[in-house]
C-alpha cells in the first residue's frame, strides 16, 4: 500500500513525476525522503527486496533452525564459512540487512496507514459526490422510460439504492450513491494487523523462552534454569520471574511401529508419553503427551520431540564398592533405534574410565559380523562397550559434552574388535582388573521442548484480523451509482431515466450491477404505479 491515497487509486504519469525543485532545504529534503519512502513504488521495491533477501536463509543452514548444519558447514569449508558468516548469512533473519529491509517496509507502511486512515475517516463522513452532468461515458450506461413522474422515480431510486446498501444523496432530479467503504476499511485493517503481527512477534520473542530437557523415566524435572539441558530466553526475559513453577515426570512411554517391507525399516505410528505434572500446592496429576498434542502447563507448552533408551548401569571397583550408578541416555542413530551413548567414570577407580556404548534393542549380526538392530522393539537387547582409560578431559573442558568421548589422551582397553557385551541383568569384569560393570535394566527417556511465548495468541489474532481485512479489501467492490431523471420520455408520457456506475478499484461485475439496478428500479416503479392505480 504505502501512499496516502487509497489502494484503488492508480497514480497518473503526472503525479508519478516528482515536482522539479532544484533547491531543497533540510526540511524539504526530509519531506522528499519521506514521500519517497512512503510511495507505492518504494513499497514494491522493498517487498521484492524482502523476498530476495529471504532466499539465502534457505540456501545456507541457519543458526536458529539448523545449528548442526552450521557447524558442519564450518568444518567442510572454513574459508567460505568466514566470508558468509561475515555477511551474516548464517543468521539471515536477524542480520542487519534483512532487518533494515523489513523495518523500512514497516516504516513505509505506517507512514501510509496514518494519512490513509485520516483520509478514510473523512470519506466516511462526506456525502456521495454530485451526479456528473453526462452519464454516457460511465460504466454500464443504460437508459429506460418509465410511466411515472420525476419525484416518484427519484424517491424510488433512493429506496432501491438504500436497500442495496448504498449511501445516497439527492442532487436535483438524480440520486448519487456510493457503497463499499468497507473495502478501504478492510485494506487499512489488513495493513494495521500486519504491524500488529510484527509487534506481537517482537514482544513474544523478547519475553518468551524455549528450553530443552532430556527427561529419563522417573526423574522429576522442575521448571528452573538449572534443570534445563539447553535454554534460550528473550532479551527481556527474566529467569527469576519468567519461569512458571511446575514440575514434570515421565512415568511411561509407549511407541508403536509398522514394518516397511521396501525399506526394511520400522516406521513410527504412535508415540505416547504418560507424564505426571505438578503445580504449586497440588499433587502429581497424570497427563498424556503426544506429538501434535503439547501439554499446557503454567502458561507454557511442553512438546514431545524425541525418545529413546537409557541403560541403567552400575560400575564397581575391584572391592565391589559402587563408583557410578545411573541411567545413561543413548541417542538413536537410525529408525530401528540402534543407539550411541557414552559412560564416563571420573572418580573411584585407579584411573578415569570412559566407555563408548552401542545399544541394540533387537540385535542381530550382519554378514560382516557387525551388529545392527532389526527392530526398535526390545526383543534381543544388547549393549556393547568399548573401554578407554586415561584423561576424560573434564578439567580442561574438552570432555564436557556428555554424548562425546574424546579418546586422544586415553588408552584403549577394549576396542571394537573385542568390546564388552552385556544383556540386561549381566555383570561383566572391566579389563585390566579395574572392577565390574552391571547392566541393571533399561529406562526410557523423552526429549522435551518447553516453550513460552506470552504473545503468540496475539500473533494469531492479528493474523486472522489481517485475513479478514484482506478478504474485505479484495472482494468488496467500491462503486458509485447514479440514477437520474434526464427529462420527459420520448413517447411523451412518463420520464426518461439514466443509470450508470463508476468503479473505484477492481470491479469486473460493475456493468452487470448497473443492469441489475436498472431492472430493480424499473420493477419497483412498475409495482408502485400498479399499486397506486389499484388504490386510486
Partner 1 sequence: MTDTLAAWSLVGVYSAAAVYLGAFALFLLDLAKRSVAAPVAGTAARPVAREAVVQESGTVLVDAPPAPPVVVTGRRARVALALSWVGWIVHVAATVLRGVAAERVPWANMFEFALTGTAIIVGVYLFANFWKDLRFLGTFVLGLAVLLLGLATVNLYVDVVPLPPALQSAWLVVHVLVAILGTGFFAIGAGLSITQLLQDRREKGGLRSGRFLATIPGSEALERMAYRVNVIGFVLWTFTLIFGSIWAERAWGRYWGWDTKEVWTFVIWVVFAGYIHARATRGWRGNRSAVLAIIGFAAVLFNFTIVNLLFKGLHAYSGL
Region 498-517 residues binding partner 1, contact defined as CB under 8 A: 502-508, 510-511
Chain centroid to CA 194? 13
Nearer to partner 1, 92 or 384 (CB): 92
Nearer to partner 1, 168 or 200 (CB): 200
Contacts 24+ apart (CB under 8 A), 72-77: none
- CA 196 to CA 184: how far, in whole Å? 18
Helices (H), 356-509: 456-475
**Among 23-31, 51-59, 347-355, 414-422, which window interacts with partner 1 (CB under 8 A)?**
51-59
- CA 408 to CA 390: how far, in whole Å? 9
Whether 478 contacts 179, CB under 8 Å: yes
Nearer to partner 1, 8 or 145 (CB): 8
Q: Is the dihedral of CA 429, 435, 439, 440 positive or negative?
A: positive
Site track 61-100 with partner 1 (rule: CB under 8 A), x = hit: xx-xxx--x----------------------xx-------
What is the helix (H) or strand (E) element at residue 155, kind and residue range? helix 150-163
Nearer to partner 1, 16 or 400 (CB): 16
Minimum distance from residue 452 beta carbon to partner 1 (Å): 11
Find the binding residues for partner 1 in span 448-467 (CB under 8 A). 449, 451, 453, 456, 459-460, 463-464, 466-467
What is the helix (H) or strand (E) element at residue 301, kind and residue range? strand 300-316
Minimum distance from residue 517 beta carbon to partner 1 (Å): 15
Among 32, 35, 37, 54, binds partner 1 (CB under 8 A): 54
Minimum distance from residue 66 beta carbon to partner 1 (Å): 7
Find the binding residues for partner 1 in span 187-206 (CB under 8 A). 201
Q: DSSP letters along 85-138, please?
A: HHTTGGGGGGSHHHHHHHHHHHHHHHHHHHHHHHHHHHHHHSPPPPPPS--TTS
Nearer to partner 1, 230 or 427 (CB): 230
Among 172, 268, 415, 487, binds partner 1 (CB under 8 A): 268
Go through 320-349 and write b for each residue having 16 or more CB atoms within 10 A of its CB, e for each that does not. Answer: eeebbebbbbbbbeebbbbbebbbbbbeeb
Minimum distance from residue 127 beta carbon to partner 1 (Å): 12
Minimum distance from residue 55 beta carbon to partner 1 (Å): 6
Find the binding residues for partner 1 in span 229-248 (CB under 8 A). none
DSSP 260: E
- CA 266 to CA 335: how far, in whole Å? 6
Chain centroid to CA 324? 45
Our finding on whether 11 is near partner 1 (CB under 8 A) is: yes
Nearer to partner 1, 271 or 388 (CB): 271
Minimum distance from residue 289 beta carbon to partner 1 (Å): 12
User: Site for partner 1 (CB under 8 A): how many residues?
Assistant: 79
Find the binding residues for partner 1 in span 357-376 (CB under 8 A). none
**Among 80-88, 267-275, 340-348, 402-410, which window interacts with partner 1 (CB under 8 A)?**
267-275
Nearer to partner 1, 156 or 507 (CB): 507
Q: Which three cell numbers stand for residue 268?
A: 513410527
Minimum distance from residue 421 beta carbon to partner 1 (Å): 33
Q: What SS3 string covers 25-68?
A: CHHHHHHHHHHHHCCHHHHHHHHHHHHHHHCHHHHCCCCCCCHH
**Among 29-37, 41-49, 231-239, 431-439, which window interacts with partner 1 (CB under 8 A)?**
41-49
Nearer to partner 1, 291 or 371 (CB): 291
Nearer to partner 1, 95 or 380 (CB): 95
Find the binding residues for partner 1 in span 296-325 (CB under 8 A). 301, 303, 305
Nearer to partner 1, 193 or 392 (CB): 193
Minimum distance from residue 221 beta carbon to partner 1 (Å): 16
Site track 118-157 with partner 1 (rule: CB under 8 A), x = hit: -----------xx-x----xxxx-----------------
How buried is residue 527: exposed, middle or buried, by Cβ count under 10 Å (0-12/13-18/19+)? exposed
Which residues make beta-bridge pairs with 250? 275
Which residues make beta-bridge pairs with 306? 447
Among 33, 225, 471, 526, binds partner 1 (CB under 8 A): 471
Chain centroid to CA 109? 21
Amino acid at each position: 500500500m504505502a501512499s496516502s491515497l487509497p489502494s484503488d487509486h492508480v497514480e497518473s504519469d503526472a503525479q508519478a513525476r516528482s515536482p522539479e525543485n532544484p533547491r531543497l532545504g533540510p526540511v524539504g529534503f526530509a519531506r522528499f525522503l519521506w514521500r519517497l519512502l512512503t510511495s507505492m513504488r518504494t513499497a514494491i521495491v522493498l517487498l521484492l527486496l524482502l523476498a530476495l533477501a529471504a532466499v539465502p536463509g534457505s540456501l545456507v543452514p541457519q543458526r536458529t533452525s539448523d545449528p548442526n548444519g552450521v557447524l558442519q558447514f564450518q568444518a567442510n569449508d572454513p574459508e567460505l564459512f568466514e566470508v558468509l558468516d561475515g555477511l551474516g548469512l548464517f543468521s539471515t533473519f536477524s542480520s542487519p540487512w534483512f532487518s533494515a529491509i523489513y523495518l523500512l517496509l514497516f516504516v513505509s507502511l505506517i507512514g501510509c496507514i496514518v494519512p490513509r486512515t485520516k483520509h478514510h475517516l473523512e470519506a466516511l463522513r462526506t456525502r456521495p459526490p454530485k451526479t456528473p452532468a453526462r452519464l454516457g461515458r460511465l460504466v454500464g450506461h443504460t437508459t429506460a422510460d418509465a410511466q411515472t413522474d420525476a419525484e416518484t422515480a427519484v424517491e424510488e431510486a433512493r429506496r432501491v439504492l438504500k436497500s442495496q446498501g448504498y449511501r445516497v444523496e439527492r442532487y436535483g432530479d438524480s440520486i448519487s450513491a456510493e457503497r463499499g467503504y468497507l473495502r478501504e476499511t478492510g485494506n487499512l485493517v489488513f495493513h494495521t494487523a500486519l504491524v500488529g503481527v510484527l509487534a506481537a512477534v517482537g514482544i513474544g520473542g523478547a519475553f518468551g523462552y524455549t528450553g530443552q530437557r532430556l527427561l529419563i523415566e522417573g526423574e522429576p524435572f522442575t521448571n528452573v534454569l538449572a534443570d534445563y539441558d539447553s535454554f534460550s530466553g528473550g532479551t527481556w526475559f527474566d529467569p527469576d520471574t519468567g519461569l512458571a513453577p511446575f514440575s514434570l515426570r515421565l512415568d511411561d512411554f509407549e511407541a508403536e511401529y509398522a514394518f516397511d517391507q521396501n525399506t526394511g525399516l520400522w516406521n513410527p505410528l504412535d508415540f505416547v508419553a504418560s507424564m505426571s505434572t505438578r503445580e504449586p500446592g497440588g499433587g502429581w496429576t497424570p497427563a498424556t503427551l503426544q506429538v501434535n498434542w503439547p501439554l499446557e502447563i503454567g502458561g507454557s507448552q511442553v512438546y514431545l520431540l524425541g525418545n529413546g533408551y537409557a541403560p541403567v548401569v552400575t560400575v564397581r571397583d575391584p572391592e565391589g564398592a559402587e563408583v557410578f550408578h545411573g541411567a545413561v541416555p543413548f541417542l538413536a542413530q537410525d529408525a530401528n533405534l540402534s543407539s550411541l551413548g557414552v559412560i564416563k567414570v571420573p572418580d573411584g577407580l585407579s584411573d578415569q574410565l570412559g566407555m563408548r556404548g552401542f545399544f541394540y534393542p533387537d540385535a542381530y549380526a550382519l554378514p560382516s559380523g557387525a551388529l545392527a538392530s532389526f527392530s526398535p522393539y526390545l526383543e534381543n537387547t544388547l549393549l556393547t562397550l568399548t573401554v578407554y582409560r586415561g584423561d576424560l578431559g573434564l578439567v580442561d573442558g574438552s570432555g564436557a559434552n556428555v554424548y562425546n568421548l574424546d579418546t586422544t589422551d586415553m588408552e584403549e582397553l577394549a576396542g571394537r574388535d573385542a568390546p564388552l557385551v552385556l544383556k540386561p541383568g549381566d555383570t561383566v569384569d572391566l579389563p585390566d582388573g579395574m572392577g565390574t560393570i552391571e547392566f541393571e535394566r533399561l529406562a526410557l527417556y523423552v526429549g522435551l521442548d518447553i516453550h513460552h511465548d506470552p504473545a503468540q495468541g496475539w500473533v494469531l489474532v492479528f493474523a486472522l484480523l489481517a485475513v479478514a481485512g484482506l478478504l474485505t479489501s479484495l472482494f468488496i467492490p467500491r462503486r458509485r451509482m447514479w440514477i437520474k431523471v434526464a427529462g420527459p420520455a420520448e413517447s411523451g408520457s412518463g420520464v426518461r431515466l439514466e443509470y450508470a456506475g463508476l468503479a473505484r478499484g477492481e470491479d469486473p461485475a460493475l456493468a452487470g450491477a448497473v443492469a441489475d439496478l436498472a431492472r430493480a428500479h424499473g420493477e419497483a416503479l412498475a409495482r408502485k404505479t400498479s399499486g397506486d392505480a389499484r388504490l386510486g
